[in-house]
Structure 1
Amino acid sequence: MTNGNGSPPDDAQLPQLNVMVQYTKDLSFENPNAPRSLGPQQQQPAINIQINVGANAIAEQDYEVTLSIEGKAEIDNTVLFNFELAYAGVFRIQNVPPENLHPVVMIECPRLLFPFAREIIATAVRDGGFPPLLLDPVDFVGLYRQNLANQATQQQPS
């Protein structure tokens, strides 16, 4: 592809998304009813998962994005285990039009973080004495749209 005058396009103008660093901000795993909860169970536990994304600008082109995942497994109102993970990354975003910046930060950045967070949770649950909990892929576009709709509803006068 050329820029119209026969020379290759200027890479400096192409949109760029770079992961500068990623890290665990907070991790908690609780097994409050061990060792009783580790024995054979008569039924499958009910597992409830909540996922949130937060972001803040830390420099002109750098954003810290935090993927927060909380989960709990219960049988008959008895907690088998629960966990909380805040997994974050710093992303450098360049040459993205302003109208596309928010979706990039809130959709693409957590999409890049998710596989690592999924592995941390699976390992923590396994190390807690249970089979690894393998989270299903997350529809970050749907989550983004849902959050926008919730914000619009909250801003409407009652």
Structure 2
Amino acid sequence: MAENQQAAGNENQNQPQFALQRIYVKDLSFESPNSPLVFQEQWKPQVNLDLNTSHNKISDNQYEVVLSLTVTAKVGEKVAYIVEIQQGGVFMISGIEGPQLGQMLGAYCPTILFPYAREAIDGIVNKGSFPALMLAPVNFDAIYAQALKRKQEEAAGEAKEEQTH
């Protein structure tokens, strides 16, 4: 019977496991360089969103994933505000390797972090006396797939260059 329990325990260790352990704001900044004059303008902002993700291995099965967002809102040529946030998360991931691990760290984890970053951005924009900003959802799977394709194309281009020399 002890052998059966040990075998079952070994099977569970080989099963893919994923757990969110912590979500936190790593860095947050807000600038409104043209206040208070920008409040006199008609509010029809052009909003630009830049995003990036990164990850670090903390321990055997722990990873930190950081979603970095920069939101710039302009009214005409004037910058109304700039918000920068690094939304971090610690994830326990085991039994997942290779491309699946890359997908988890590059797409799945940022998808979990995004609503928290969006809420923090909306709150700080509101505290800056600007109308609420609700960022549209982001398809991190598509972004990850594009980045992967770009890396593969670059690698193929480099391999082709080496063959011609």
Same topology, TM > 0.5 = yes
Mapped to 2, the partners of 1:58 and 1:135 lie a distance apart of 30
Q: Following TM superposition, by how much is the alpha carbon of 1:33 offset from its aligned partner in structure 2, in angstroms?
A: 0.7
Instruction: Select the structure that is richer in helix.
Output: 2
Residue 36 of structure 1 corresponds to which residue in structure 2?
A: 37
Distance 2:93 2:84 in 1: 28
Percent identity for Structure 1 against Structure 2: 35
Structure 2-normalised TM-score?
A: 0.83
2:103 paired residue number: 103
TM-score, normalised via structure 1 length: 0.86
Determine helix, strand or coil for the equivalent of 1:129.
Answer: coil
CA deviation profile, 1:19-67 (whole Å, cap 9, x unmatched): 11111111111011111112351x5111100111111111111111000
Q: In the aligned structure 1, how far is the partner of 2:99 from the partner of 2:48? A: 34
* 3-state SS, counterpart of residue 112 of structure 1: helix
Any residues of structure 2 matched to 1:101-140 within 5 Å, and which? 101-140=101-140
Q: What CA distance in whole angstroms lies between the structure 1 residues aligned with 2:149 and 2:64?
A: 23
After superposition, the C-alpha distances for 1:101-130 in whole angstroms (9 at most, x for unaligned) are 110111111111111111000001101111
Verify the 8 A CA contact 2:41 2:75 in the aligned structure 1.
Answer: no
Q: What runs of 5+ residues in structure 1 fail to find an aligned partner?
A: 1-7
Q: Which amino acid aligns with 1:88?
A: G
> What is the distance in 1 between the residues matched to 2:46 and 2:141?
26
| Aligned-partner Cα distance in 2 for 1:38–1:24 | 28
Q: What's the CA shift for 1:12?
A: 4.2
Paired amino acid for 2:119: E
1:22 is aligned to 23
Instruction: Tell me the distance in 2 between the aligned counterparts of 1:122 and 1:148.
Output: 31
Counterpart residue number, 2:77: 77
Number of corresponding residues: 150
2:54 & 2:147 partners in 1: Cα distance? 11
In structure 2, the gaps of 5 or more residues are 1-7
